[in-house]
Amino acid sequence: MLTELAITVALMGSNTIVTHPHWASENQTWPTTLWASNPTISAAIQFGPAGGMATGLTVMATNFAVKNYFALNLGHNATVIIEIAIGMAIGMAAQTARRAHAELQRAAQLTAAVQERDRLSREVHDGAIQVLALVAKRGHEIGGPTADLADLASEQERALRRWLACSDLQPDADAEIVDVRALLRCRESDRVTISLPGTAVPLARSVAAELDAAVANALDNARAHAGPGAHTFVLLEDLSDAVVVSVRDDGVGIPAGRLEEAAGQGRLGISQSIVGRLASLGGTARLRSDPGEGTEWELCVPRQDGRP
């Protein structure tokens, strides 16, 4: 493109050598508009409207320099308007074509990913899930020690089914706004119940990811300290000006003085991580717990300047 522009400017400048000044001032500058537009078109395709119009202005400036005066006599010389129009129109068309091509590529990639995921889902369903279901069925029929293996097989079968269902709900990796429900739904398990609103709960991707990570930390806490057999309940609420997630378990709770003892020993890792994540979002993380009454985290993220 720069080579084209340099050649065009040089040829236009040569008019001062090969023609009389009076002739140059009264006629179109060589090369004429059609040929002088080539660098403008190239720049518009490569750099968009701004690059095309800037190159057109350069060509026009050379034209006026050759004539030794500035005049916008479009009836006599339409180079000005033609160069600007070409640079803008072709530049906009090139940008639109590039965006359309990028969208087409992205759609093709998404289609390929969905097809591959469907194929894997069928293979898992036809293979691993059916085997686990058979092991669970036969184990319960046999009874005795094999019943424990049957329970494990049933648990893994349900986990695989949840994973397959969850993979269909994952948000678009390129989306700036995501539905928090899709992230939290994947946290459900035999010991975790998720309660979600019926409508989407949109948040910025970075905010939703931090909130989901804080929920994961709270679930890890419950799994490690709530005691055997404890169940955890996750509730998502959209309060318009804030998003609130409650993570509550029915476990043993935190004995009086335990938090102070852990703080003194420098072992508040996950709890501090939860608080830190919410603080970085401008939100709050409140902990409530009593011995024998379980533990509850309330995670609140305010919406910045409205939705989302």
**Residue 55, CA distances (Å) to 9, 37, 83 in order:** 11, 9, 8
Higher pLDDT: 6 or 182? It is 182
From first CA to last CA, the distance across the chain in angstroms is: 44
Residue 13: which pLDDT band, with cuts at 50, 70 and 90?
Answer: low
Q: Which of 41-50, 166-175, 261-270 has the highest mean pLDDT?
A: 41-50
- The SS3 assignment for 193 reads strand
Q: What is the pTM of this model?
A: 0.54
For residues 283 and 278, give the distance between their C-alpha atoms in angstroms, rounded to a whole number: 5
Instruction: For residue 20, name the pLDDT band (cuts at 50, 70, 90).
Output: low
Polymer length of the chain: 308
38-47, 84-93, 258-267: segment of lowest average pLDDT: 258-267
Greatest mean pLDDT range, 26-35, 77-86, 297-306: 297-306
**136 or 232, which is more confident?**
232
> DSSP 3-state assignment of 298?
strand
**Residue 176: CB partners within 8 Å, gap ≥ 6?**
204, 205
Q: What is the pLDDT of residues 49-92, one digit of tens each?
A: 888 888 887 877 777 676 666 666 655 556 777 788 888 898 89
Segment among 8-22, 148-162, 201-215 with least mean pLDDT: 8-22
The arithmetic mean of pLDDT across residues 263-267, rounded, is 57
